[in-house]
Protein backbone atom coordinates (compact mmCIF):
# COMPACT_ATOMS: atom_id res chain seq x y z
CA UNK A 1 0.00 0.00 0.00
CA UNK A 2 1.14 3.63 -0.36
CA UNK A 3 3.81 4.88 2.05
CA UNK A 4 1.63 7.77 3.26
CA UNK A 5 -1.97 7.18 4.28
CA UNK A 6 -4.33 8.65 1.71
CA UNK A 7 -7.40 10.63 2.78
CA UNK A 8 -10.74 8.89 2.86
CA UNK A 9 -12.17 11.54 0.55
CA UNK A 10 -9.48 12.21 -2.05
CA UNK A 11 -9.49 15.23 -4.34
CA UNK A 12 -8.68 14.91 -8.08
CA UNK A 13 -5.52 16.98 -7.70
CA UNK A 14 -4.19 14.74 -4.97
CA UNK A 15 -4.99 11.55 -6.85
CA UNK A 16 -3.25 12.94 -9.94
CA UNK A 17 0.03 12.91 -7.99
CA UNK A 18 -0.48 9.30 -6.88
CA UNK A 19 -1.31 7.48 -10.12
CA UNK A 20 1.91 5.48 -10.18
CA UNK A 21 1.98 4.71 -6.46
CA UNK A 22 2.62 1.01 -5.73
CA UNK A 23 -0.17 -0.70 -3.84
CA UNK A 24 -2.82 1.68 -5.14
CA UNK A 25 -5.70 0.44 -7.29
CA UNK A 26 -8.20 2.78 -8.94
CA UNK A 27 -11.55 1.16 -9.71
CA UNK A 28 -13.99 2.63 -12.24
CA UNK A 29 -17.67 1.67 -11.86
CA UNK A 30 -18.94 3.61 -14.88
CA UNK A 31 -20.92 1.89 -17.61
CA UNK A 32 -18.77 -0.25 -19.91
CA UNK A 33 -19.08 1.92 -23.07
CA UNK A 34 -17.98 5.02 -21.20
CA UNK A 35 -15.07 3.23 -19.57
CA UNK A 36 -13.97 2.04 -23.01
CA UNK A 37 -14.17 5.62 -24.27
CA UNK A 38 -12.16 7.20 -21.47
CA UNK A 39 -11.11 6.58 -17.89
CA UNK A 40 -8.48 7.64 -15.40
CA UNK A 41 -5.10 6.23 -16.51
CA UNK A 42 -4.53 2.85 -14.90
CA UNK A 43 -8.10 2.47 -13.60
CA UNK A 44 -9.60 -1.02 -13.79
CA UNK A 45 -13.26 -1.51 -14.64
CA UNK A 46 -15.74 -3.22 -12.33
CA UNK A 47 -19.16 -4.27 -13.58
CA UNK A 48 -21.54 -2.93 -10.95
CA UNK A 49 -24.07 -5.82 -10.98
CA UNK A 50 -21.31 -8.16 -9.80
CA UNK A 51 -21.59 -6.45 -6.41
CA UNK A 52 -25.25 -7.44 -6.06
CA UNK A 53 -27.41 -10.46 -5.40
CA UNK A 54 -31.15 -10.46 -5.97
CA UNK A 55 -33.95 -12.59 -4.56
CA UNK A 56 -36.98 -10.96 -6.21
CA UNK A 57 -38.71 -8.88 -5.15
CA UNK A 58 -35.78 -8.19 -2.82
CA UNK A 59 -32.95 -6.53 -4.74
CA UNK A 60 -29.56 -5.11 -3.86
CA UNK A 61 -28.44 -7.85 -1.49
CA UNK A 62 -24.80 -8.72 -0.96
CA UNK A 63 -23.35 -11.51 -3.07
CA UNK A 64 -22.20 -14.55 -1.14
CA UNK A 65 -18.68 -14.43 0.21
CA UNK A 66 -17.22 -16.75 -2.43
CA UNK A 67 -18.66 -14.71 -5.29
CA UNK A 68 -17.32 -11.44 -3.91
CA UNK A 69 -13.98 -13.11 -3.30
CA UNK A 70 -13.81 -13.96 -7.00
CA UNK A 71 -14.70 -10.39 -7.97
CA UNK A 72 -12.04 -8.83 -5.77
CA UNK A 73 -9.44 -11.42 -6.76
CA UNK A 74 -10.06 -10.76 -10.46
CA UNK A 75 -9.37 -7.08 -9.80
CA UNK A 76 -6.05 -8.00 -8.19
CA UNK A 77 -7.02 -6.60 -4.79
CA UNK A 78 -5.24 -7.86 -1.70
CA UNK A 79 -6.02 -6.97 1.93
CA UNK A 80 -3.14 -4.47 1.74
CA UNK A 81 -4.31 -2.71 -1.44
CA UNK A 82 -5.52 0.87 -1.12
CA UNK A 83 -8.61 1.08 -3.34
CA UNK A 84 -9.86 4.35 -4.80
CA UNK A 85 -13.30 4.16 -6.40
CA UNK A 86 -15.28 6.45 -8.68
CA UNK A 87 -17.96 6.40 -11.33
CA UNK A 88 -19.10 8.75 -14.07
CA UNK A 89 -22.39 9.84 -12.51
CA UNK A 90 -22.97 10.74 -8.87
CA UNK A 91 -20.59 8.22 -7.28
CA UNK A 92 -23.37 6.16 -5.71
CA UNK A 93 -22.17 3.01 -7.48
CA UNK A 94 -18.64 3.73 -6.28
CA UNK A 95 -20.01 4.25 -2.77
CA UNK A 96 -21.88 0.94 -2.87
CA UNK A 97 -18.58 -0.74 -3.76
CA UNK A 98 -16.79 0.95 -0.88
CA UNK A 99 -19.57 -0.02 1.55
CA UNK A 100 -19.17 -3.60 0.34
CA UNK A 101 -15.44 -3.41 1.04
CA UNK A 102 -16.24 -2.09 4.52
CA UNK A 103 -18.57 -5.02 5.21
CA UNK A 104 -15.83 -7.36 3.96
CA UNK A 105 -13.41 -5.82 6.46
CA UNK A 106 -11.15 -4.13 3.92
CA UNK A 107 -9.22 -1.40 5.71
CA UNK A 108 -7.83 0.87 3.01
CA UNK A 109 -10.09 2.69 0.59
CA UNK A 110 -11.02 6.18 -0.60
CA UNK A 111 -13.68 7.87 -2.70
CA UNK A 112 -12.61 10.17 -5.52
CA UNK A 113 -14.56 13.30 -4.60
CA UNK A 114 -16.79 14.22 -7.52
CA UNK A 115 -15.87 11.11 -9.49
CA UNK A 116 -15.00 11.21 -13.17
CA UNK A 117 -16.98 14.43 -13.64
CA UNK A 118 -14.76 16.37 -11.25
CA UNK A 119 -11.61 14.69 -12.62
CA UNK A 120 -12.28 15.73 -16.22
CA UNK A 121 -13.70 19.18 -15.44
CA UNK A 122 -10.60 19.99 -13.43
CA UNK A 123 -8.44 19.10 -16.40
CA UNK A 124 -6.79 15.84 -15.37
CA UNK A 125 -5.85 13.24 -18.00
CA UNK A 126 -7.91 10.34 -19.26
CA UNK A 127 -7.21 7.64 -21.81
CA UNK A 128 -8.86 4.64 -23.43
CA UNK A 129 -6.11 2.12 -22.79
CA UNK A 130 -7.19 -1.30 -21.62
CA UNK A 131 -5.83 -2.23 -18.20
CA UNK A 132 -4.81 -5.74 -17.23
CA UNK A 133 -4.06 -6.78 -13.68
CA UNK A 134 -2.58 -9.83 -12.07
CA UNK A 135 -5.25 -11.79 -10.23
CA UNK A 136 -4.93 -12.20 -6.50
CA UNK A 137 -6.41 -14.43 -3.82
CA UNK A 138 -8.75 -12.36 -1.68
CA UNK A 139 -10.66 -14.31 1.00
CA UNK A 140 -13.89 -12.54 1.94
CA UNK A 141 -15.51 -12.81 5.36
CA UNK A 142 -18.41 -10.47 6.03
CA UNK A 143 -18.61 -8.47 9.25
CA UNK A 144 -21.93 -7.41 10.73
CA UNK A 145 -20.86 -4.08 12.23
CA UNK A 146 -21.67 -2.29 8.96
CA UNK A 147 -24.66 -4.31 7.73
CA UNK A 148 -28.09 -5.09 9.13
CA UNK A 149 -31.06 -7.17 8.07
CA UNK A 150 -34.81 -6.80 8.52
CA UNK A 151 -34.89 -8.61 11.86
CA UNK A 152 -32.25 -6.26 13.29
CA UNK A 153 -34.32 -3.23 12.36
CA UNK A 154 -37.51 -4.78 13.76
CA UNK A 155 -35.75 -5.27 17.08
CA UNK A 156 -34.52 -1.65 17.17
CA UNK A 157 -37.59 0.29 16.03
CA UNK A 158 -38.02 1.92 19.44
CA UNK A 159 -34.34 2.14 20.35
CA UNK A 160 -33.52 5.74 21.22
CA UNK A 161 -29.88 5.11 20.39
CA UNK A 162 -30.66 4.14 16.78
CA UNK A 163 -31.66 6.42 13.91
CA UNK A 164 -33.10 4.89 10.77
CA UNK A 165 -32.16 7.22 7.95
CA UNK A 166 -34.31 6.91 4.82
CA UNK A 167 -32.40 8.47 1.93
CA UNK A 168 -35.13 8.11 -0.70
CA UNK A 169 -37.07 11.02 -2.16
CA UNK A 170 -39.64 12.77 0.03
CA UNK A 171 -42.37 11.32 -2.21
CA UNK A 172 -41.13 7.76 -1.65
CA UNK A 173 -40.87 8.43 2.08
CA UNK A 174 -44.41 9.85 2.19
CA UNK A 175 -45.79 6.94 0.19
CA UNK A 176 -47.01 8.96 -2.79
CA UNK A 177 -44.31 7.40 -4.99
CA UNK A 178 -44.94 3.67 -4.68
CA UNK A 179 -42.09 1.37 -5.70
CA UNK A 180 -43.04 -1.81 -3.82
CA UNK A 181 -46.14 -3.77 -2.79
CA UNK A 182 -46.66 -1.18 -0.05
CA UNK A 183 -45.61 2.44 0.20
CA UNK A 184 -44.57 4.64 3.10
CA UNK A 185 -41.62 4.40 5.45
CA UNK A 186 -40.22 2.43 8.37
CA UNK A 187 -41.73 3.65 11.67
CA UNK A 188 -39.74 6.50 13.25
CA UNK A 189 -37.39 6.74 10.25
CA UNK A 190 -36.15 10.21 9.32
CA UNK A 191 -35.76 11.37 5.74
CA UNK A 192 -32.77 13.14 4.24
CA UNK A 193 -32.68 12.60 0.49
CA UNK A 194 -29.23 11.39 -0.57
CA UNK A 195 -28.80 14.08 -3.23
CA UNK A 196 -28.79 16.79 -0.57
CA UNK A 197 -25.18 15.82 0.17
CA UNK A 198 -24.08 16.67 -3.39
CA UNK A 199 -22.71 20.09 -4.31
CA UNK A 200 -23.94 20.54 -7.88
CA UNK A 201 -22.10 23.85 -8.11
CA UNK A 202 -18.79 22.15 -7.36
CA UNK A 203 -18.46 19.30 -9.85
CA UNK A 204 -20.81 16.94 -8.01
CA UNK A 205 -18.52 16.69 -5.00
CA UNK A 206 -19.74 16.24 -1.46
CA UNK A 207 -20.74 19.46 0.23
CA UNK A 208 -18.29 20.82 2.83
CA UNK A 209 -18.16 18.90 6.09
CA UNK A 210 -19.74 21.67 8.16
CA UNK A 211 -22.67 21.90 5.73
CA UNK A 212 -23.20 18.12 5.78
CA UNK A 213 -23.01 17.97 9.55
CA UNK A 214 -25.68 20.65 9.89
CA UNK A 215 -27.87 18.91 7.29
CA UNK A 216 -27.85 15.62 9.16
CA UNK A 217 -28.00 17.12 12.64
CA UNK A 218 -31.20 18.93 11.70
CA UNK A 219 -32.77 15.51 11.13
CA UNK A 220 -31.44 14.06 14.38
CA UNK A 221 -28.62 12.19 12.66
CA UNK A 222 -25.70 12.70 15.05
CA UNK A 223 -22.43 10.85 15.71
CA UNK A 224 -23.54 9.64 19.16
CA UNK A 225 -26.27 7.50 17.55
CA UNK A 226 -26.12 4.29 15.58
CA UNK A 227 -27.23 5.24 12.06
CA UNK A 228 -28.92 2.73 9.75
CA UNK A 229 -29.19 3.96 6.15
CA UNK A 230 -31.47 2.58 3.47
CA UNK A 231 -33.18 3.49 0.19
CA UNK A 232 -34.80 1.10 -2.30
CA UNK A 233 -31.83 -1.21 -2.94
CA UNK A 234 -29.04 0.43 -0.89
CA UNK A 235 -27.41 2.14 -3.85
CA UNK A 236 -28.46 5.71 -3.10
CA UNK A 237 -28.09 5.13 0.63
CA UNK A 238 -24.54 3.87 0.10
CA UNK A 239 -23.72 7.42 -0.97
CA UNK A 240 -25.08 8.67 2.35
CA UNK A 241 -23.15 5.93 4.17
CA UNK A 242 -19.89 7.21 2.67
CA UNK A 243 -20.84 10.84 3.33
CA UNK A 244 -21.40 10.03 7.01
CA UNK A 245 -18.19 8.03 7.14
CA UNK A 246 -16.32 11.02 5.70
CA UNK A 247 -17.64 13.03 8.66
CA UNK A 248 -16.23 10.49 11.11
CA UNK A 249 -19.53 8.95 12.24
CA UNK A 250 -18.39 5.86 14.18
CA UNK A 251 -21.51 3.68 14.03
CA UNK A 252 -23.08 3.48 10.56
CA UNK A 253 -24.81 0.45 9.09
CA UNK A 254 -26.36 -0.23 5.70
CA UNK A 255 -29.57 -2.16 5.12
CA UNK A 256 -29.07 -3.86 1.73
CA UNK A 257 -32.61 -5.24 1.48
CA UNK A 258 -33.91 -1.70 1.96
CA UNK A 259 -37.42 -0.86 0.79
CA UNK A 260 -37.40 -3.64 -1.82
CA UNK A 261 -37.56 -6.00 1.16
CA UNK A 262 -39.44 -3.96 3.76
CA UNK A 263 -42.08 -2.61 1.40
CA UNK A 264 -42.75 -6.00 -0.20
CA UNK A 265 -43.22 -7.81 3.13
CA UNK A 266 -46.90 -7.73 4.13
CA UNK A 267 -45.99 -8.16 7.80
CA UNK A 268 -43.55 -5.29 8.38
CA UNK A 269 -44.87 -2.17 10.13
CA UNK A 270 -45.17 0.93 7.93
CA UNK A 271 -45.99 4.57 8.53
pLDDT tens track for 124-153: 999 999 899 999 999 999 999 999 999 999
* Global model pTM greater than 0.75: yes
In a domain, 3, yes or no: no
In a domain, 26, yes or no: yes
In a domain, 25, yes or no: yes
Together in a domain, 67 and 152: no
Together in a domain, 110 and 148: no
Together in a domain, 159 and 113: no
3 — pLDDT class (breaks 50, 70, 90) = low
Together in a domain, 68 and 152: no
Query: How many structural domains does the chain have?
Result: 2
In a domain, 67, yes or no: yes
Task: Based on the residue annotation, tell me whether 95 is a catalytic residue of this protein.
Answer: no
In a domain, 33, yes or no: yes
User: Does 268 have pLDDT greater than 80?
Assistant: yes
Together in a domain, 115 and 177: no
* Selected catalytic residue, list 85, 190, 228, 231: 231
Together in a domain, 30 and 115: yes
In a domain, 68, yes or no: yes
Together in a domain, 58 and 151: no
Together in a domain, 32 and 85: yes
Phi, psi for residue 127 in degrees, rounded to 5: -150, 175
CATH assignment of the domain containing 25: 3.40.250.10
User: Does 250 have pLDDT greater than 60?
Assistant: yes
Residue 130 has a pLDDT of: 86
In a domain, 171, yes or no: yes
Average pLDDT over residues 57-80: 97
Q: Structural domain of residue 80, as residue ranges? A: 9-121
CB atoms within 10 A of CB 64: 11
Alpha-carbon distance 116 to 87, whole Å?
Answer: 6
Select from 88, 121, 154 the last residue of a domain.
Answer: 121
Contact 238, 99 (CB under 8 A): yes
Amino acid sequence: MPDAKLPFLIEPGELATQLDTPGLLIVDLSDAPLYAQHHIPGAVWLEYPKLLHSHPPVMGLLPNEDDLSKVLSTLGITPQTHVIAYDSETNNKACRFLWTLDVAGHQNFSLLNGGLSAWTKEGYPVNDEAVTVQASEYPVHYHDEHCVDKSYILSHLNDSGVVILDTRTPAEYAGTDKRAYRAGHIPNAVNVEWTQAIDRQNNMKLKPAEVLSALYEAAGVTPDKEIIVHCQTHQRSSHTYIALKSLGFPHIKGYPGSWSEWGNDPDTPIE
